[in-house]
Amino acid sequence: MDTEQKISEITYSIEKASEIGDEVFNIAKDHWEEVDTRDEYTKPNPDWEKYYLLESQGFHRLVTARQDGELIGYISLITAPSLHCKGEIDSQIELLYVKKEYREESIGSDLILSAENYSSDLGAERVSFSLKGKSPHNNLVSDLEYTLTEQVFTKRVRGI
């Protein structure tokens, strides 16, 4: 019996949520359970129609990682004209998720690098992203030379 196991390559691609939304939703459930900081009254409920609208306008794409066709990680990327710097384009990594069993590999870093390259191809000046306090990807920011530019604080003001 052959004890060697062929490890498949990871494929990184730019994909549309309208084409693979069900796949993303299936692994997003694990993502939400792991890092969601919302209270008991607010459950994740993505507005897919708004994602599709942004996608149809060229502003939203998914950067995906697949092994043997299976989706194992993704970035939700929004690239649009900057509201703060007229004439410039910014990209925002809205979501980053890699299945737990693949985190010992460099998939998170490779997804971010793929998002950076795609953003640059679109003319973006900057790529930014925020991470949940409980995110398993917090070490990536320093490894990939991102700098802290702001902190986000949240307070529930409705339905208290």
Summarised one tens digit per residue, pLDDT across range 88-122 is: 999 999 988 899 889 888 899 999 999 999 999 99
Domain that residue 65 falls in: 10-143
Asked if the structure places residue 152 within a domain, the reply is: no
Q: CB–CB of 79/119 below 8 Å?
A: yes
* CATH code (residue 31): 3.40.630.30
The mean pLDDT value of the chain amounts to 83
How many domains in the chain? 1
Is the model's pLDDT at 136 over the cut of 70?
Answer: no
Asked if the structure places residue 155 within a domain, the reply is: no
Range of 88-92, 128-132, 140-144 with top mean pLDDT: 88-92
Asked if the structure places residue 148 within a domain, the reply is: no
- Burial of 124: CB neighbours in 10 Å, binned 0-12, 13-18, 19+: buried
Asked if the structure places residue 151 within a domain, the reply is: no
